[in-house]
Amino acid sequence: MKTMASIKQNPPPIQVVLPDFRNLGFTLRTLIIANLLGLAAAILRSESLAGMWHELLAISTLLQPMLLFSMLALYALGPLIGQLSYRLGVLAVLAIELVAATLVWAFTSTLFGTDNMFGLGRWWLLTMLTTAVLLGYFNLRGRALSPAFAEARLQALQARIRPHFLFNSINAVLSVIRDDPKLAETALENMADLFRVLMADNRQLVPLKSEVALCRQYLELEKLRLGDRLQIVWHTDNMPGDALIPPLVLQPLLENAVYHGIEPSGEGGEIVIAINLEQDQVHALISNPYRKGSANHIGNKMALTNIRERLALHFDYEARLTAKESENNYQVHIVLPYRKSSKP
Amino acid sequence: MTAPLKVLIADDEPPARKRLKSLLADIPNVTVTGEAENGREMLSMASEQLPDVLLLDIRMPVMDGIEAAEHAQKLYRPPAIIFTTAYEAHALQAFELNAVDYLLKPIRLERLQTALARAQVLRPAQIEALHSLAPPRTHFSIHERGRILLIPLADVLYLRAELKYITLRTLEREYLLEDSLNRIEQEFPEHFLRIHRSCLVARDMIQGFERRHEDNGETHWVVLLKGYPETLPVSRRQQHIVREIG
């Protein structure tokens, strides 16, 4: 009934949160915007192009240490700030920036003599203004993206299991019902689980182990249909089961592997799935046999685009998906930052 | 009582075949003569069993159902064809449009019964319509003494238009094919190269080109084939391919 209720509900109110200070996307955007502001200041203060470079250099002696220091401070304090409400979080960030500004000002004035280009008061004001502009930007960006989060659910539905698979599976279950009722039971249970996930609200990240469990159920169903033509090899010894991942990221890839790699071949083949943790990144590799020139890539491209978009929505620049095809093999590689679920 | 209706099943998924068999077992006066895993296997079975009806899955490896249906027309007594499919939207439209029989999986007993009762041999217009659905053929088929010979596309060295037929040459032997060079050229632009008004050569089989001098002082190019001694003349009009490829 949970899904029924969620269909009737209005979209949830937009919740504005501070950006994730440890995300590469945050760092990049902040550096770019702050430096553009610095460039604007340099243009305003100078009369000629040559003068502009000089001004930019002068501004940079304060701006760059300031940015470096701020990034480090926010990275260190990020999780603490994250526990505060939005208002308190904003105040905390402003306070941190004021402290940073003071320290950087003192540091550079001792390093370069007392010849700082701004007085401390003016420097404070500039810092507050830049911070406010950035926080405003991230606030707007958060709002702009949050309908996208709602849409992520719809997108996950679009990446849904092919009708081809649904009807073939029902057909397979029907064929075993008379001779092997137990097998038919398991198959129907697997199907029920698959569709529960497909119809669920898919905005939240899920632990990797539940996505993998879903994949195993899906593959069991395909195995019923394809028998020995479908061989699966799992390498999950070094898999962080608690890593968070958007739901239905791996399953559609496996579905493609079966549809494009196994079904068109008479003898069948082997799908290899390797998931492991390397430093702070989760790597997932899916490879399947593939014959060049086999038709119908459009479905596959659509699924890849969809998954890429959802990864970007949740992890920004820190996640990526690459696909590689060689003479007789097709491989998809996903990299995710390792975020643990809070639940054990 | 009339002789039982002979049905041949082709589907790559064992459970799907099993399901069809158990449904057919419930219908009186029907026998299943065989089960094939793909179109190619179906055709070799059909040449011997001469079934009345083919139940053909569309999406199968090695040779899909639509290509198999086309080749099956060359059987001594072409069988009626009923396609079975789980979900092939584009195919279904064409089937509806051309009144080709099809069954949707999971198949119901009653639907199967009606389909068998009115099963018909495909008309040439229907075959033509299906042709556009199928990916390029994987095999050429030749009707020879009541059997269908299938020659994999990859085995073909060259195709040459004779008076009424096309000669298809493989390393082993020559076959006579009823088809048109133009149609084949359009169907496999990547695979075959036109070297003469009356000749298509498989690109993969070309070893190289050689310039030949005639007694009257003229020169022309010939194609050398991999592993086969015969050379094929390149027409004056097609000489540009020597530069493009060689």
B121 CB burial (10 A radius; 0-12, 13-18, 19+): middle
Domain ranges of chain B: 5-131, 156-245
Tokens 């799907």 belong to residue = B16
For residue B32, pLDDT beyond 90 = yes
Tokens 């000089």 belong to residue = A54
Beta strands in A82-161 (DSSP E): none
Task: Specify whether domain B5-131 bears CATH 3.40.50.2300.
Answer: yes
User: What's the pLDDT band for A264 if we cut at 50, 70, 90?
Assistant: confident
Considering just the CA atoms, what is the radius of gyration of chain B in Å? Answer: 22
**A313-325 burial: b if 16+ Cβ within 10 Å, else e:** bbbbebbebebee
For residue A6, pLDDT beyond 70 = no
pLDDT digit string (tens) for B95-117? 877 778 889 888 999 999 999 99
Chain A closest-CA separation from residue B14 CA (Å): 7
Q: Is A174 on the interface with B (CB under 8 A)?
A: yes
**Residue A104 or residue A201, greater confidence:** A104
Q: Which residue of B has its CA nearest to A175?
A: B19
User: What's the pLDDT band for B203 if we cut at 50, 70, 90?
Assistant: very high
User: What's the pLDDT band for B25 if we cut at 50, 70, 90?
Assistant: very high
B22 CB burial (10 A radius; 0-12, 13-18, 19+): middle
pLDDT digit string (tens) for A30-75? 999 999 998 998 888 888 888 888 888 888 888 888 899 999 999 9
Residues contacting residue A283 through CB under 8 Å, at least 6 positions apart: A274, A275, A276, A277, A333, A334, A335
Q: Is A183 on the interface with B (CB under 8 A)?
A: no
Domain ranges of chain A: 24-153, 159-337
For residue A1, pLDDT beyond 50 = no
What pLDDT is attached to residue A9?
42
For residue A8, pLDDT beyond 50 = no
Amino acid at B186: Q
For residue A10, pLDDT beyond 60 = no
Q: Going by DSSP bridges, is the β-strand pair B30-36/B5-10 parallel, antiparallel, or unpaired?
A: parallel
Identify which of A133, A211, A224 has the alpha carbon closest to the alpha carbon of residue A171. Answer: A224
Cα distance between residue B159 and residue B137, in whole Å = 15
Count other C-beta atoms under 10 Å from residue A42's C-beta.
Answer: 20
Statement: the pTM of the whole predicted model exceeds 0.80:
no
The reply to whether residue B13 touches residue A225, judged by beta carbons under 8 angstroms, is yes
For residue A111, pLDDT beyond 80 = no
Cα distance between residue A254 and residue A303, in whole Å = 11
Q: Which residue of B has its CA nearest to A177?
A: B19
Cα distance between residue A107 and residue B8, in whole Å = 88
What pLDDT is attached to residue B246?
62
For residue A294, pLDDT beyond 60 = no
What stretches of B73-159 show up as alpha helix (H) in DSSP?
A: 89-97, 109-117, 124-131
User: What's the pLDDT band for A3 if we cut at 50, 70, 90?
Assistant: very low
Tokens 């926010």 belong to residue = A74
CATH class of the domain whose range is A159-337: alpha beta
Phi, psi (degrees; rounded to nearest 5) at A180: -140, 75
- Which of B9, B13, B191 best probes binding to A when mutated, by most A CB atoms within 10 angstroms? B13
**Residue A145 or residue A216, greater confidence:** A216
Q: From the list B14, B87, B135, which residue is nearest A295 (CB)?
A: B135
Q: Is A340 on the interface with B (CB under 8 A)?
A: no
**Residue A291 or residue B112, greater confidence:** B112
The secondary structure element, H or E, covering residue A137 is helix A120-158
The reply to whether residue B135 touches residue A172, judged by beta carbons under 8 angstroms, is no
Cα distance between residue A229 and residue A225, in whole Å = 9
The reply to whether residue B15 touches residue A172, judged by beta carbons under 8 angstroms, is yes
What pLDDT is attached to residue A16?
75
Mean pLDDT of B55-75: 89
| Token reading at B45 | 């079975």
For residue B142, pLDDT beyond 80 = yes
**Residue A320 or residue A309, greater confidence:** A320
Fold assignment, B156-245? OB fold (Dihydrolipoamide Acetyltransferase, E2P) (2.40.50)
Percent of chain A past pLDDT 90, that is, above it, reads: 33
Kindly list the distances between the CA atom of residue A191 and the CA atoms of A30, A172, A223, B166, in Å, as whole numbers in the listed order.
Answer: 46, 12, 13, 52
Percent of chain B past pLDDT 70, that is, above it, reads: 99
What pLDDT is attached to residue A86?
87
B97 CB burial (10 A radius; 0-12, 13-18, 19+): exposed
The reply to whether residue B19 touches residue A226, judged by beta carbons under 8 angstroms, is no
What pLDDT is attached to residue A310?
84
| Among B83-87, B116-120, B131-135, the least confident range | B131-135
Mean pLDDT of A122-140: 90
| Among A246-255, B34-43, B48-57, B141-150, the least confident range | B141-150
Q: From the list A164, A224, A263, which residue is nearest B15 (CB)?
A: A224
Q: Is A299 on the interface with B (CB under 8 A)?
A: no
Query: Rounded mean pLDDT of chain A?
Result: 84
| Token reading at B133 | 């659905």
